[in-house]
Amino acid sequence: MNTTTLLIARRIGIAALTLLLVSVVVFSITSVLPGDAAQAALGQSATPEMIAALRAQMGLDAPAYLRYLHWLGGLLSGNPGQSLSNNTPVAQLIGLRLPKSLWLAGAAAALSVPIALSIGIVSAMHRGSYLDRGLSLVTLGMVAVPEFLVATVAVLIFAVKLHWLSALSYTPDTPGLGQFLRAYAMPVMTLSFVVVAQMARMTRAAVVDQVSRPYVEMAILKGASPARIVLRHALPNAAGPIANAIALSLSYLLGGAIIVETIFNFPGIASLMVDAVTNRDMPLLQACAMIFCCAYLALVLLADVFAIISSPKLRHR
Amino acid sequence: MTAPTVSSSADRPPAVGAAPRRASAWGRWRRRLSISGLIGLATVIFWLLVAALGPLLAPHGVGAIVADDSFASFSTQFPLGSDYLGRDVLSRILYGARYTVGLALAAAVLASSVGTALGLAAAVTGRWIDETMSRLLDALTCIPSKIFALVMVAGFGSSVPLLMLTAALTYLPGAYRIARSLAVNLNVMEYVEVARARGEGRAHIACSEILPNMIHPMLADFGLRFVFVVLLLSGLSFLGLGVQPPAADLGSLVRENISGLAEGAPAVLMPAFAIATLTIGVNLLIDSLPGRARRFAQGALR
């Protein structure tokens, strides 16, 4: 018990340190080219004096490390500054968009995890068979398909040819179930497509890795059925690696969301970030980037903690 | 698993009049490839040729407006239809492949070679350098690839060298991690101990003893990095943040023709399919490589 707590505390500490490093990286990349914020806010016709005054007012003439500390303090206290392009607080913009993205990611996860685990476990149970090889080729192909191909084909089939769904996703603030399904169906399908393939492959690998261990050979010699060997013997030991596979694949949702939200015009945080890049709206961009990195680290941390808790070896120490 | 195949084909006496050793090694390698692997190999060679010779093969100029109507469907005159301005989609793809394949190759070569060099250095030098490098690069992996690319484009603006550098930086930590774990394992092998006892320097040990034994898994890993880079850069171009007009890679072609989606124009789908054939082809090829190389490569993730 004591070792477990210690291990988990260590992981959390490392994650916090990593996040700090990430914040340094994000901040330095986005503030290497100086002075743009004041220039951008005032436009081309501004006199040098006006720009200098605004720079002083925005604190842009301070040394980089002070600006970084100021920014970090703002992030931690929930006030990551003012958006440059529409002059609203960044926190407010993100507050509007984040829940929608979370719904999208949640729905995609709820759809893809059961499918992927079934494919992965079934392939591992029948490894070497035609079913396994067929599934392996299909998932291998799916992993390499760009999201915008999946999205455009989905629009072509479901919106243009069949007229089941509308190509533009529109989400009223309190959607009914029908509206929710119509708005989310295609983005969720597209996001799940690649994630399912990746997760299924990693799950299969995790289970197969266990199946080649001596204790499984022992179970085979005892005469246990293939299904029992995988489900009863191998699966509990593969729980940690599978959790890892799920977390890594789900973290892929973060990147996939950028393309999917843009193509379906989905008002989420990923499309907000793309707009921020287009408008060179640095405060907004920095905050969005940090949210994505936080989400990624949180997923990896969760998987780590789960692996520590579920590992039979550590449990009995 | 693959070992018996190797030895049996190696033991086979060479056929009368067989080509010299190089050709038979190639033949052996080819025989070990599955059908899907051969399809993958053919696709990869096809795209490399297209990237090299595309402009020579293109029936029309890259910017030439040749069709009477936009978003035309397949026809004998324009095999892949016409785009939103009435340009020939086939020619646009043949030109665009040069950016997609060339940029991705350059970035993947950069990521893999620098990653391998750093991984080797970490394995043969002291613990302190190893720890520092591993921690720093680990922090870099915690920024999802597309997010990192967006931050870079926002910070420095989008240009071809920046895109290449961004993609290389994004996939460098993964290559480093694999190279390092391979090199650390090889570093404790007996023949390396022997070399060290002989008094060989670190550089010799890294380059002559360790590197040759990790080259195959690193090549498989390189293929995977290439796929990731293709997907990342075409994704960026699709968002309008990658290769900037008038230049266009395959991702840009999807973006500029997206308004033709409602009519089901081939101009939208064909460039996207082109990317998919390229990436799937590389994946099929890597998947059919012999065991050890593949296992290492498949641990990686986009």
> Average pLDDT of B31-40?
78
pLDDT value of position A173: 57
Kindly report the nearest CA distance between residue B97 and chain A, in angstroms.
15
**Hey, which residues does B65 pair with through a beta bridge?**
B87
Residue A292 near chain B (CB below 8 Å): yes
pLDDT value of position A49: 77
Query: Are the Cβ atoms of A146 and B284 closer than 8 angstroms?
Result: no
> Average pLDDT of A216-231?
82
Question: Is the per-residue pLDDT at B1 higher than 70?
Answer: no
Q: Which one has a higher pLDDT value, B87 or B72?
A: B87
pLDDT value of position B16: 43
In sequence order, what are the residues at sequence separation of 6 or more whose Cβ sits closer than 8 angstroms to the Cβ of residue B31?
B9
C-alpha span between A155 and B3 (Å, rounded)? 47
Q: Which residues of A touch B276 (CB under 8 A)?
A: 144-146, 149
- Give the lowest-confidence range in A107-116, A286-295, B22-31: B22-31
Residue B136 near chain A (CB below 8 Å): yes
Residue B300 near chain A (CB below 8 Å): no
Question: Is the per-residue pLDDT at B233 higher than 80?
Answer: yes
Between A29, A144, A148, which is nearest B238 by CB? A148
Q: Which one has a higher pLDDT value, B297 or B288?
A: B288
Question: Is the per-residue pLDDT at B19 higher than 50?
Answer: no
pLDDT value of position A115: 93
Question: Is the per-residue pLDDT at A109 higher than 80?
Answer: yes
pLDDT value of position A153: 87
Query: Are the Cβ atoms of B238 and A259 closer than 8 angstroms?
Result: yes
Average pLDDT of every residue of chain B: 79
Confidence category of residue A174, pLDDT binned at 50, 70, 90: low
Question: Is the per-residue pLDDT at A14 higher than 60?
Answer: yes
**Hey, which residues does B88 pair with through a beta bridge?**
B82
Query: Are the Cβ atoms of B235 and A259 closer than 8 angstroms?
Result: yes
Query: Are the Cβ atoms of A146 and B235 closer than 8 angstroms?
Result: yes
pLDDT value of position B168: 92
Closest residue in B to A257 (Cα) is B146
Question: Is the per-residue pLDDT at A266 higher than 70?
Answer: yes
Cβ contact B89:B67 at 8 Å: no
> Average pLDDT of B35-53?
88
Give the residue carrying structure tokens 């005054």. A53
Closest residue in A to B287 (Cα) is A140
Kindly state the percentage of chain B with pLDDT values over 70.
84
Confidence category of residue B302, pLDDT binned at 50, 70, 90: very low
Residue of B238, B286, B296, B298 to mutate for A, most A C-beta atoms under 10 A: B238
Q: How many CB pairs under 8 A join A and B?
A: 153
Torsion angles phi and psi, residue B87, rounded to 5: -90, 160
Residue A181 near chain B (CB below 8 Å): no
C-alpha span between A242 and A234 (Å, rounded)? 11
What is the Rg, in whole angstroms, of the alpha carbon atoms belonging to chain A?
24
- Give the lowest-confidence range in A74-78, A240-244, B69-73: B69-73
> Average pLDDT of A88-96?
83
Amino acid at A150: V
Residue A21 near chain B (CB below 8 Å): yes
Q: Is the peptide bond before B161 cis (omega within 30 degrees of 0)?
A: no
pLDDT value of position B3: 37
**Hey, which residues does A177 pair with through a beta bridge?**
none
Instruction: Kindly state the DSSP code that residue B258 receives in the 8-state scheme.
Output: G
> Average pLDDT of B68-78?
75
Most confident of B32-41, B164-173, B282-291: B164-173
- Give the lowest-confidence range in A61-65, A142-146, A246-250: A61-65
> Average pLDDT of A173-200?
79
pLDDT value of position B111: 92
What digits encode the pLDDT tens for the residues B88-126? 888 888 888 888 999 999 999 999 999 999 988 888 887
pLDDT value of position B114: 93
Confidence category of residue A254, pLDDT binned at 50, 70, 90: confident
Cβ contact A237:A210 at 8 Å: yes
Burial (0-12, 13-18, 19+ Cβ within 10 Å), A201 = buried
**Hey, which residues does B184 pair with through a beta bridge?**
none
> Average pLDDT of B199-225?
83
Question: Is the per-residue pLDDT at A27 higher than 90?
Answer: no
> Average pLDDT of A263-277?
86
A 10 A CB-CB count for B260 gives: 20
> Average pLDDT of A96-103?
85
Confidence category of residue A31, pLDDT binned at 50, 70, 90: confident
> Average pLDDT of A300-317?
73
Question: Is the per-residue pLDDT at B135 higher than 70?
Answer: yes
Kindly report the nearest CA distance between residue B53 and chain A, in angstroms.
25
Query: Are the Cβ atoms of B251 and A148 closer than 8 angstroms?
Result: yes
- Give the lowest-confidence range in A9-13, A112-116, A158-162, B193-197: A158-162
Residue A312 near chain B (CB below 8 Å): no
Residue B195 near chain A (CB below 8 Å): no
Question: Is the per-residue pLDDT at B300 higher than 70?
Answer: no
Confidence category of residue A175, pLDDT binned at 50, 70, 90: low
Query: Are the Cβ atoms of B152 and A26 closer than 8 angstroms?
Result: no
Query: Are the Cβ atoms of A32 and B279 closer than 8 angstroms?
Result: no
C-alpha span between B144 and B152 (Å, rounded)? 12
Q: Which one has a higher pLDDT value, B229 or B138?
A: B229
> Average pLDDT of A220-249?
82
What is the Rg, in whole angstroms, of the alpha carbon atoms belonging to chain B?
23
Question: Is the per-residue pLDDT at A19 higher than 50?
Answer: yes
Residues in chain B: 302
> Average pLDDT of A58-65?
72
pLDDT value of position A222: 85
> Average pLDDT of A281-308?
86
Query: Are the Cβ atoms of A26 and B151 closer than 8 angstroms?
Result: yes
> Average pLDDT of A60-86?
78
pLDDT value of position B22: 52
Residue B259 near chain A (CB below 8 Å): no
pLDDT value of position A44: 66
ipTM score of complex: 0.84
Q: Which one has a higher pLDDT value, B279 or B70?
A: B279
> Average pLDDT of A226-247?
82
Q: Which residues of A touch B36 (CB under 8 A)?
A: 137
Residue B284 near chain A (CB below 8 Å): yes
Work out the angle at residue A163's Cα, subtended by the Cα atoms of residues A161 and A169, and round it to the nearest 5 degrees: 115
Question: Is the per-residue pLDDT at A243 higher than 50?
Answer: yes
